[in-house]
Structure 1
């Protein structure tokens, strides 16, 4: 009699099925990742997206706080928090294409972090510096620090979709696209859009000038106090035409600086103010040398660390935090401090995120510095700093003027897409950068011009 084959017991079959389910769930990539289209749709409505599978990294409250900060700053900063196993190939380029908005995109992927931006919003070198500055931090700290620093230095404006309110049934994307197409097709719609952009640009310039005015007024006041301390009288004993000429040029510079500032309407107008102050301080240095019987000083730029220190007397080696060494013009006091291994006295200014050196305080300070350091020397002094990175782009000239005179200007709205504008897929992937590895540029790979850091 043949043996009847044993049939597997029900518990054994259930165990096998359960094992299969567990293996399937735990296998990386087995579960479909959230599509780029879904993430892009969320980012068009809100600047911060947290994938459900990554919710443990950033709480809903913390995400909402970041989103409110970004919206309040009116900047096109997009943040996505994704799980560690999310596919990384071309993720930045694909997300930028799907979102269709010119801006700065940052992704926290597991415990890895990277960012990419259209150069009209933030230069690649500035993005690189910002990303490097927050590596190794926890998700909340990293994203908060990155947001703080990025909003200080990036350009552009928030997309209109963030501020739109939806009805109970919502407004379909298709309807919005059709409406936009009709408006663009009509001359009246296009004219309205240009006027709105120019009005927003003018408001941003006024805000930048208001912040800059505080610093310039401090400079003018300091120069006026120098004139008072000089205690020079054109009729005093020993006064001659040369000394009187120095004194008159200093007084003229003081008057010009006050008038130029009173007439300033945009940040680039400030350059004329600081040029006048630099001329005036050199005249005072000449007058002091004549009165003391010393050789006349050579014409040198002011002290790099604080132009209020007066004309520099030498060049000294200095390395900014996280930057490369360079020679900068310094006053005698700062030269001594550096030689003794001490920190120089640096000009700090108020920002939304506390007191910072002027070269780390935003693009509006470019024309201010350019008036002091003319003649093309400023790029070398600021290389590797955030202000230097921002000033090295044509978009900077359009927003804040020529700065140090080496870039051509440009009319606002004369072409291209500004940060926050809808460009769809009309952007240069090489300009924007790549993605997280797998040929996308993460870990210093190609396409993203990232240069390492992980």
Structure 2
């Protein structure tokens, strides 16, 4: 844990930037006087306590610093915002949690009133209500917030977000610090580092997409070849409306996959492409069954070993090298190979370490696999693999998208972005009137 003097210096560097942004927002033509919520969220990603420039009479700079030190020293995901009484309350908790994107406990002092919400992974809804009840009778803001934090530290799960431990933490108490030459230089340095990191991240994302593009183009090409081999003509003898519908569906999926790939800008955009390809292949399987007079196939995921093998026909037990056995969907050919004790025909892709199975090729293949296998199925298929381990990490959703199924969920302090369930972000009650302040709003029972 970093020392308090260092934290204080960092806060002195960050605070003028946040305060200046708030002033600019308030003074812009047509802008609302209230500090934009994205500014509040950015400040909370840097430090556990934010005091609005219009609420400095509620909690002093020194008290805010001491409260932030207490939270950071305890390494717990507690976020405290002090806002003026007239701050807009509609969906405030939900929007702040979305903007901040970090799992944790959120307490807000709004004028003379207080309420809180939390992700269920760190504290139950009833636990939050108990904390709020105890804090509401504690007196002034300093006593109230300290009591709230003290009680929360004894009950809260999870750990502080990594963004607090880096070089950008701070308690932004707007308007209390004079911006000198040193502070301006420090602020410029922080901005430069942030900009450089963002640019590097964007370059990494582009590089990952280009590697993935090769594999996806192979999938689309293989799907197009299947369309050609089918050699179906809507006006051919024996063709009926059901066949023509399946064929049109497959053609539409083919064109959609090409369009979506051309429009892709990030690896997570690929998920829609492989969803379209998988949907089109199933339409072709239905068309082939109709033409041959067979029963229509059951809707199943594609072959796990290579989705180009088409829809699976069965589930088979397979054990990856060094991993645990699991059931995976397989095509008829791979089912026969496994039954004979042979290796399946695995889809391999180019990596920096040579050709590797796609589940050992890097994080960008999560969206690729997610489009084929959906959210609920994917975790069981990938457990124990390199890709499965990456997708279980707290930062994966922010870089490559979410909703791939339960890879372990988010713990306190994890970066989930907007991927959280309002029904699992609850607690608090009473006192604020409208919006989601008080009375639970739309928290605790879903949206």
TM-score, length basis structure 1? 0.49
Query: Highest CA radius of gyration, 1 or 2?
Result: 1
